[in-house]
Amino acid sequence: MFANLLTGLRRTIRGAAAEKDPESGLNGESGMSDAALNEALRRARAVQPPPVVWLLGKTQSGKTSIIRSLTGSPDAEIGNGFQSCTRTARFYDHPADAPVVRFLDTQGLGEVDYDPAEDLAFCESQAQLIIAVVKVSDGLQGAVFDVLRAVRRRRPDWPVIVAQTCLHEVYPSGFEHVLPYPFDQSGWETRVPPNLTRALLFQRDRLGALPGNGPMVWVPVDLTLPEDDILPTDYGLDALWKAVQRASRFDLEVRLRDESDREDGQSDSFSLAAHQQIVGYAMASAAIGALPLVDLAALPALQVKMLHKLGELAGVRWDKRRVAEFSALLGPGIMAGYGLRLAGRSVIKLIPVLGQTGGAAYGAATGAGLTFALGKAARLYLDHAAQGRSVRAEDVRKIFDEALRRGRNLIKPFGQKDGS
Amino acid sequence: MISKTALLRGFGLLRLLAVFLAALPLLALPALGLAWIWLSDHRPFWLAALGICAVSGYGLHLLAARIERSRSKTDQAEQSIDPESRTTRPAPHWSRQDEACWIKVEELAQRTSPKDWAVADVQRIALLGRDTLDVVAGHYHPEADNPLLELTIPHALLITERAARDLRREITRTIPFSHKLTMGLLARINRWRETVKQYETLYRLGRAVLSPYSALFHEVRRNLGNSIAGYGLENVKAWLLREYVRKVGYYAIELYSGKLLLIDEDPTARPTAATRSDLNDAGKHGEPSTSEPLRILVLGRANTGKSSLINALFGRLQVTTDTLPGTTQAMKAYRLEREGRDAALILDAPGCDTDLLPPKALRRAVLDADLILWVTAANRADRHAEREQLDRIRAWYAERPSRRLPPLVVALTHIDQLRPVKEWQPPYDLNAAPNPKAVAIAAAVQAVARDLNVPVDQTIPVCLAQGRLYNVEDTLAAVILELQEESEKARFLRCLEARKGEEFWSAVKEQMKTAGRMLGSVLR
């Protein structure tokens, strides 16, 4: 089975022509067609939709910058600051193939020729966390604050984060960001320019206390583009992460960031993006595992897709040599793995058996754990491969073992919380 | 009046004789020349020359007529502007409604031709005047059954007075000796002409009998000459008729649009009540100005830089500014003085998105403005509320056809915050610039002009940040100056409205007082 998985990977990478060939081993044994896989993914997503983060704010207040900074993905379109660019409320699935979170970007309030009422009602029905985005230079945020109050009146326990953006617009000329970030310590009022203090406090005073008892956090941030030459470009992002962690009832941070990836000092955009992809595919695996009628052939197909995607992110081609190398590193790892001993069977037998006999919940957790572990191992391998370094088998094995355990624990709470 | 004999005596009979003697040789010349032609048998040549001259003259006239026709045709094709000169033109201070009415009058004038309206027939002419009045009255009172009657008696008297005064001036100025022509003389001349016409026929008959040969030539020449003169005369007559229609139309528009004040004064000559109170409010040194200043209203959302803009316009600190909204708490007037005179009154308003500026106060301020300076921030894209407010302002003026929408200039502030944020190296050439900042500014100008529905050339990017003052004194001030004429038109109509309000109540007061006095004297 596992050999089939890797064969499938090789075939996928080799080209679309081979994949489309009905007699190829991919389709016959382990794989399934792209359309069928996408359909399975779609159904999985319907059963277990990703949580929705609602970004609320006037047009050009910096909502998209926040999406960009949280996901580390440059795909979200950033405006020029004087003209609105998000035309309707729209979902931004992240990552696109196997989303771990769904951002809901409202069209900016206060835009010419736009009536937000319908969009707002829709957003309220979808979201689990609200991040209100207010420009600190724009003192009058009545429109945004009114929505916040109304939402909290109806849903008193919803968490609300208010991000106060574009701090640099009220700096005196020539002033740079105060470092280290002072706003999470008491007494920050005296350490930033007085006009900024007053503007920040003015907005907080204007909104006052929200109805209900859900958490509410104020976070001043200044997320700029590198060409703006205001350093650091993600001023306050860590504070925003902390706020997100505190406020969100689903583990948004776990979905988007993996601190353990940073241990080797190689924390970079690849690790971040890879983690999000791995979580996404692990969640999709869990969902597919929970679907009673989906042929479990979808699981290896999904894993192939993930490995392919990770290869793309790392800029490493899965050629024959790499597939062989990776399977060699992994093979013993799997056999000796803690997860397999727990399952009491070999991986090769595991998956088809689960499809026939195993409980759906068990299948979900195990399938997700496997996907997660495989992804993490691949991340380590690809990271090294991209830099032309070799990786020790025991490291890969260690990562796999640990990830298998973490993955099962990780996916379980997602499933329970998201379903609520 | 001095009698004719007295005049003659004053000149001196002998002197008159001397003048006549001195002129006699010259006066005799035509007669002698004719006699010579007759005697020397050159008569056929002379007659031939007479005929040739007449025919070629006629030819020239035909050519002129054709050129005129073709020219008027091409003009109509290009634009329906006729080549003829007009002395009566629409007044510059008229509102859009008045201008629309003027177009109707102009159309009527174009349709008028002497064929339909004999100039000599006074009654017909009066009818034409009535038709013109009908057109104008119908324009202003489309709902009334008889729009002609929709005017007050004092106003009707006033219009007669004005038209008569106008006509007197023009006749005195343009028609030679009109100040010496008596009505009696005109009547006598007319009588003489009738008599001469009778005898002329007799003379022509006699000549035909006595000298049929030369008579034929004379008849040809006479007819051709008459036709040339007649054509020219037709043109002049048509022009007179059209001018007549225009004159009547002009006064009718003044009348029916209610622009005529019963008092004889320029409405902008002294400050209106609103301005007087604002001038007092602005306080400071000095007595109020003698004439109504231009009122410039500075509007926009909170914190966009309205007060900073006023400071920049004055070139010194006048108004307090702050980062937080609500610094300007109420409408406040500032006197902009140039060479010791009140050049303008600048009105600073609280943010139009705050509670400090209730809609009623805003409406009053807007209707009392001659120029609106709309301040908007380049770094805030949520312009929905602003557009709504501007559309409301436009609607307020659209409801009042007798007023003109004052010119609207948009000051686009905070352009230093546009990308790249850190760069600030004015001046920026927005038309041809590879500079990314200039490109961003130009794009912001386009976006704002579109969002707020104002012309791009009236959307002026400025910077008001401390130490970065840019484009206010030069470009913005220049644009305001350029629009001054428009502003003055708006001011005229605004003052007119204010005066009419004053006039109504002062007239009522005056009438009550007089009536009361009369009643008192009767009772006593």
Measure B264 CA to nearest chain A CA, in Å: 48
CB count within 10 Å of CB B447 equals 20
Would you call B231 exposed, middle or buried from its count of C-beta atoms within 10 A (0-12, 13-18, 19+)?
Answer: middle
Contact call for B417 and A81, based on CB within 8 A: yes
Q: In chain B, which residues have their Cβ closer than 8 Å to the Cβ of A114?
A: 384
Which residue among A111, A166, A224 sits closest to B382, beta carbon to beta carbon? A111
**Chain A residue numbers touching B305 (CB-CB < 8 A):** none
Tell which A residues from 113 to 132 touch B, by Cβ distance under 8 Å: 113-114
Mutate to test the interface with B, among A82, A138, A200, A206 (most CBs of B within 10 A): A82
A82, B384: Cβ pair inside 8 Å?
no
> Kind and range of the H or E element at A274?
helix A269-290
Q: In angstroms, what separates the C-alpha of B472 from chain A's closest C-alpha?
A: 20
Whether the Cβ atoms of residue A123 and residue A92 lie closer than 8 Å to each other: no
The residue among A112, A136, A147, A205 with the most chain B CBs within 10 A of its CB, best to mutate, is A112
In this prediction, residue A27 carries a pLDDT of 35
pTM: 0.70
- The residue of chain B nearest to residue A176, with distances taken between CA atoms, is B422
Q: Which residues pair with A161 in a beta bridge?
A: A131, A217
Give the CA dihedral B9, B15, B19, B24, nearest 10 degrees.
100
Question: Is B303 near chain A, with CB under 8 Å?
Answer: yes
Q: Closest by alpha carbon to A254, among A263, A262, A245, A264?
A: A245
Contacts of B343 (CB under 8 A, 6+ apart): B293, B294, B336, B337
Q: Is the CB of B378 less than 8 angstroms away from the CB of A82?
A: yes
Cβ distance of A229 and B380 shorter than 8 Å: no
Considering only CB atoms, B324 lies closest to which of A143, A198, A224, namely A198
ipTM of the complex: 0.71
Q: Quick check: A173 and B443 CB within 8 A?
A: no
- Among the partner-chain residues A109, A112, A228, the one whose CB lies closest to the CB of B451 is A112
Residues of A in contact with B301 (CB under 8 A): 140
Distance, in angstroms, between B371 CA and closest chain A CA?
24
Q: Is B24 helix (H, G, I), strand (E, B) or coil?
A: helix
Whether A303 contacts A316, CB under 8 Å = no
Two tokens, residue B120 = 């000599």
Residue A193 phi/psi, 5° resolution?
A: -55, 140
Distance, CA of B495 to CA of B98 (rounded, Å) = 17
A171 has a chain B CB within 8 A of its CB: no
Residue B453 touches partner A, C-beta closer than 8 Å: no
**Rg, chain A, Cα only:** 23
B321 touches chain A (CB under 8 A): no
With 0-12 CB in 10 A as exposed, 13-18 as middle and 19+ as buried, what is B119? middle
Sorted by sequence, the CB contacts under 8 Å of residue B34 that are 6+ apart come out as none
Chain A nearest CA to B453, separation (Å): 11
Is the distance from CB of A289 to CB of A355 less than 8 angstroms?
Answer: no
DSSP state string for A182-209? -TTSTTGGGTS-HHHHHHHHHHHHHH-P
Contact predicate B134/B147, CB 8 Å:
yes
Closest residue in A to B304 (Cα) is A138
Query: How many CA atoms lie within 13 Å of A68's alpha carbon, on the beta-carbon side?
Result: 17
Cβ within 8 Å, pair B444-A82: yes
Is B382 in contact with A108 (Cβ distance < 8 A)?
yes
Q: CB–CB of B422 and A228 under 8 A?
A: yes
Q: Residue B461: its pLDDT value, please?
A: 93
Q: Give the per-residue pLDDT at B85.
A: 56
Measured between CA atoms, how close is B289 to chain A, in angstroms?
39
Mutation choice for A interface testing from B301, B306, B323 by most A CBs within 10 A: B323
Q: Do B420 and A173 touch (CB under 8 A)?
A: no
Compute the distance between CA of residue A72 and CA of residue A275 in angstroms, rounded to an integer. 11
Residue-wise pLDDT tens digits, B400-435: 888 888 999 999 999 988 888 888 888 888 877 678
CB contacts, 8 Å: B451 with chain A: 112
**A59 close contact with B: CB closer than 8 A:** yes
Chain B residues with CB inside 8 Å of A141's CB? Answer: none
Q: Say yes or no for a CB contact (<8 Å) between A80 and B443.
A: yes
> Is B355 within 8 Å of chain A by CB?
no
Cβ-based contacts of B384 with chain A (< 8 Å): 110-114
What is the spatial distance between Cα A79 and Cα A169, in angstroms, rounded to a whole number? 16
Average pLDDT per run of 10 along chain B, which is 524 residues long? Answer: 63 82 87 87 84 86 83 56 61 83 87 71 74 84 78 72 74 70 73 81 80 75 73 72 81 78 72 80 63 89 89 79 80 78 83 86 91 92 88 90 89 89 83 82 92 92 88 88 88 86 80 82 76
> Cβ of B449 under 8 Å from any chain A Cβ?
no
Chain A residues touching residue B443 (CB < 8 angstroms):
80, 82-83
Tokens 């004040």 locate to B261
From the list A59, A166, A169, the residue facing B381 with the nearest CB is A59
Q: Which two tokens stand for residue A394?
A: 């025991």
Distance in angstroms (rounded) separating the CA atoms of residues B130 and B373? 44
Judge whether B320 is closer than 8 Å to chain A, CB to CB. no
Q: How far apart are CA A269 and CA B106, in angstroms?
A: 74
A139 → closest Cβ in B303, B385, B387: B303
Determine whether the interchain pair B381/A139 forms a contact, defined as Cβ–Cβ distance below 8 Å: no
Q: Which one of B323, B421, B424 has the shortest CB-CB distance to A230? A: B421
Alpha carbon A339 to chain centroid, angstroms = 25
Cβ separation A228–B421 shorter than 8 A: yes
Residue B385, chain A, CB below 8 Å: the answer is yes
Which residues of chain A lie closer than 8 angstroms to B378, CB-CB? Answer: 81-82
Q: Could you say which residues of chain A have pLDDT below 50?
A: 1, 3, 14-31, 263, 265-266, 333, 335-361, 416-420
C-alpha to C-alpha distances, B492 to B52, B96, B295, nearest whole angstrom: 61, 14, 12
As a 3-state breakdown, chain B gives helix, strand, coil percent values, each rounded to 5, of 60, 10, 30
